[in-house]
Chain A
Amino acid sequence: MGSKQLERSDLGALFRELAAEGRTIVGPTVRDGAIVYDEIATDNDLPIGWIDEQSAGSYRLVRSGRDGCFDFVVGPHSWKRFLHPPQVRLWSARREGQRLAIEEAGHESPRYAFIGVRGCELEAIARQDRIFLEGEYVDATYRGNRQDSFLVAVNCGRAGGSCFCVSMGTGPRAGAGYDLALTEVIDEQRHYFLIEAGSESGRALIDRLPVREAGAVELAAASARIEATEASMGRSMETDGLRELLQARATSAQWDEIAKRCLTCANCTMVCPTCFCTTVEDVTDLTGDHAERWRSWDSCFTMDFSWIHGGSVRPSASARYRHWMTHKLSSWIDQFGTSGCVGCGRCITWCPVGIDITEEVRIMREAADREHAAEEGVQ
């Protein structure tokens, strides 16, 4: 089956068909001055006509002057919010005398349809799949949310100010893992989507949509838009040998330099679509005979994160930033076979002091190169 085209005016049909499958539709929508992911009902809930201006430490919505549905890039939310929710009740316990009974929470998992998943986000989901589904243990909550999900990807038509997916090999074109992929094209005459299926259920859904075969013109227009995005991406990260570079620079003075700016606020870990760390907390009633165990997102930027009797293992901001960045770009490769970074740029945008991970990598490399050159000089 070749690519199809779907008129903008027919986009509502996609929502209707997904709803008819009994799915909970989640997609981008404007709230509190940002584009967030939430349950939406129709294509009219999309951030039509909005784009997000992003740079280090800055995010602002502005009118685009046209009625594109997906002209923005990514906001503070990511899909982990739904697959690996910020707070989950794991189980509850009841005590009767000396006896104890524990009951699993057994959540009803929605059948999710995610609309507007970007290339970097598809990769982020794949990286969390690896952690929660493909290891020795399977996370029941994640599996419940993920197992029957339907992903509608969107190929990015614009590079955001913090994006660096091209250098990370994750975008702007959606790679594997989607059910449907849309490319939005707006020209003087028409507003339509190139629509491609990536799975059997995607193909089945396309069959129920009012689509037409896409011609050479539409294919070329869609490709041109993605290529333009690729060409206009301002940031990049050189990933070659990055694992070894960071391992070798655990005692670099640069960590202290970063720590002078880093507020250890944990924003980067909250907005990161791959950061997966959690903590657990017990909540009891006044009698102490009923307890609930809750799991919530945690951040390696807190002092509690590494606490063992007597104190925190990483009391300095320098060590905590080093842990985060080294885990993301280096340790992740040892642990899961890929980098933990997908190049979405959220940590750059949402850092209140504008620390730019791509810039820090560049400085780290330069320092290593200088030292290397100095050693060569000595020899």
Chain B
Amino acid sequence: MKAERIESILATHPFFEGLAAEHLAVVADCATSVRFAAGEKIFHEGEEAQSFYLIRHGRVAIDTHAPQRGGLTVQTIGEGEILGWSWMTPPYRWRFDARAVDLVRAIALDGRCLREKCEADHDLGYELLKRLTLVIVRRLEATRLQLLDIYGHQV
């Protein structure tokens, strides 16, 4: 895929909405287009976290497992959302499994590449961190609500 094409896809993804053109060009250097068939594992718990995914189409399940309970889906991520932040901080390993629920098309940004770009250009690094923090905060809020088990008998 041509670099300009990736750049324009990045620009239309909500996560990079409004990002400066020069930053987009830098990020595009780390990007490749990927697709996963329904049921395909995107990454496994414990593996090296190599990529940061921008979901363009389809639904991804974040799974874990517990001895007596088998597999558990803790969250799903859909179109326009992002997948994975373990690439950002040491030890750069996934803490959960990710699985394509249906056909998933995404942009994968190489984690090491992104880290190097951010170290080289702190303006880009800060911009990226602000955007990621917003997503992480939102997910944390949602997780807290989920913890409340609000539909149970005891609210």
B contacts with A: majority SS: loop
CA distance A114 to B32 in the complex (A): 90
CA distance A361 to B153 in the complex (A): 39
Contacts of A311 in B (CB 8 A): 154
Q: What are the 4 closest A-B residue pairs judged by CB atoms, nearest first?
A: A310-B154, A310-B155, A310-B153, A309-B153
Interface string of B122-155 (1 = CB under 8 A from A): 0000000000000000000000000000000111
Contacts of B153 in A (CB 8 A): 309-310
CA distance A309 to B151 in the complex (A): 12
Chain B: residues with Cβ within 8 Å of the partner, total of 3
CA distance A311 to B154 in the complex (A): 8
Contacts of A310 in B (CB 8 A): 153-155
Give the interface of B toward A (CB within 8 A). Answer: 153-155
Chain B residue nearest to A311 in the complex (CB):
B154
Chain A: residues with Cβ within 8 Å of the partner, total of 3
Query: Within the complex, what minimum Cβ distance (angstroms) separates A312 from chain B?
Result: 12
CA distance A311 to B155 in the complex (A): 9
A-B contact pairs, 5 of them (CB 8 A): A309-B153, A310-B153, A310-B154, A310-B155, A311-B154
Chain A residue nearest to B155 in the complex (CB):
A310
Query: Within the complex, what minimum Cβ distance (angstroms) separates B152 from chain A?
Result: 9
Contacts of B154 in A (CB 8 A): 310-311
Contacts of B155 in A (CB 8 A): 310
CA distance A310 to B155 in the complex (A): 7
CA distance A33 to B146 in the complex (A): 59
CA distance A309 to B153 in the complex (A): 7
Query: Within the complex, what minimum Cβ distance (angstroms) separates A313 from chain B?
Result: 11
CA distance A311 to B153 in the complex (A): 10
CA distance A309 to B154 in the complex (A): 8
Interface string of A276-297 (1 = CB under 8 A from B): 0000000000000000000000
Query: Within the complex, what minimum Cβ distance (angstroms) separates A306 from chain B?
Result: 14
Query: Within the complex, what minimum Cβ distance (angstroms) separates A53 from chain B?
Result: 50
Query: Within the complex, what minimum Cβ distance (angstroms) separates A88 from chain B?
Result: 33
Chain B residue nearest to A309 in the complex (CB):
B153
Interface positions, chain A 297-347, Cβ under 8 Å from B, are 309-311
Contacts of A309 in B (CB 8 A): 153
Query: Within the complex, what minimum Cβ distance (angstroms) separates B46 from chain A?
Result: 40
Interface string of A226-267 (1 = CB under 8 A from B): 000000000000000000000000000000000000000000
CA distance A48 to B139 in the complex (A): 75
CA distance A8 to B153 in the complex (A): 66
Query: Within the complex, what minimum Cβ distance (angstroms) separates B145 from chain A?
Result: 17
Query: Within the complex, what minimum Cβ distance (angstroms) separates B148 from chain A?
Result: 12
Query: Within the complex, what minimum Cβ distance (angstroms) separates B95 from chain A?
Result: 33
Chain B residue nearest to A308 in the complex (CB):
B155
Query: Within the complex, what minimum Cβ distance (angstroms) separates B52 from chain A?
Result: 42
Interface string of A204-218 (1 = CB under 8 A from B): 000000000000000
